[in-house]
Amino acid sequence: MLKIGVLVSGGGTNLQAIMDAIDAQGIPAEIVSVVSSNPNAYALERAKNKGIEAVTMRKRDYADAKAYDLALAEHFKSRGVGLVVLAGFMTILGEDFVNAFENKIMNIHPALIPSFCGDGFYGLHVHEAVLEKGVKLTGATVHFVSPITDGGPIILQKAVEVMDDDTPEILQKRVMEQAEWKIFPEAIRLFAEGKLEVVGNKVRIKR
Ligand code: GAR
């Protein structure tokens, strides 16, 4: 059974969707630890309600970024984690963490990569930029994490329509409902069933 570690910073609706899908779809995986960069994240309550270990680890409590990366990696390794899931994690991870879990870290990004991604594009800012540009389609992307922000191999994407009178909040909700909460559990299921193969910078899905 695949052991999953989850990193969160906020409300945790993606964490909730993943926990629900593991139960409802019988995904052969178990979330063993949820770590938040923010002690007030509601995601921590969601984990506790499920009886899952929920802890806070803040970058500022460590000597430097490398020490934080190594502590996070040690935390998950000690729990036998085989997949780390970034479910709304707003802290950039460095090479020490990424290399400790090569092609074993998944992130959800609320846009169609390579659009509206990279440094500064997170949370509502992404949807603000989408509306500012006036694109007609946006969406979400699940990808493996590499040392380049939002630059790792793409696993799944789903498009979502942008409406004329959208606000960033309305668009964020539509992207979550129509894309994020569907493709993130699906990508985790594919990983847990051994159906994802990384070839260079691409992901092949064995159907
Ligand atoms: C989600 O929309 C996720 O795609 C985004 O933050 C939100 C977290 O919501 N992630 C990023 O922007 C990462 N760069 P949640 O805490 O309710 O899952």
pLDDT of residue 117: 98
Q: Which domains are assigned to the chain?
A: 1-101 (3.40.50.170), 108-142+155-207 (3.40.50.170)
pTM beyond 0.75: the answer is yes
Q: Ligand 1 centre from 173 Cα, in Å? A: 11
Active site residue 127: no
pLDDT of residue 207: 83
133-178 pLDDT, tens digit each: 999 999 999 999 999 999 999 999 999 999 999 999 999 999 999 9
Nearest CA to ligand 1 atom 12: 122
- Counting from 1 in the atom list of ligand 1, the atom nearest the Cα of 107 is 13
Average pLDDT in the chain: 97
Q: Ligand 1 centre from 163 Cα, in Å? A: 20
Those residues with Cβ within 8 angstroms of residue 183's Cβ, 6 or more apart along the chain or in another chain: 108, 140, 142, 156, 157, 158
Percent of residues, the chain, with pLDDT higher than 90: 100
- Counting from 1 in the atom list of ligand 1, the atom nearest the Cα of 13 is 17
100-121 pLDDT, tens digit each: 999 999 999 999 999 999 999 9
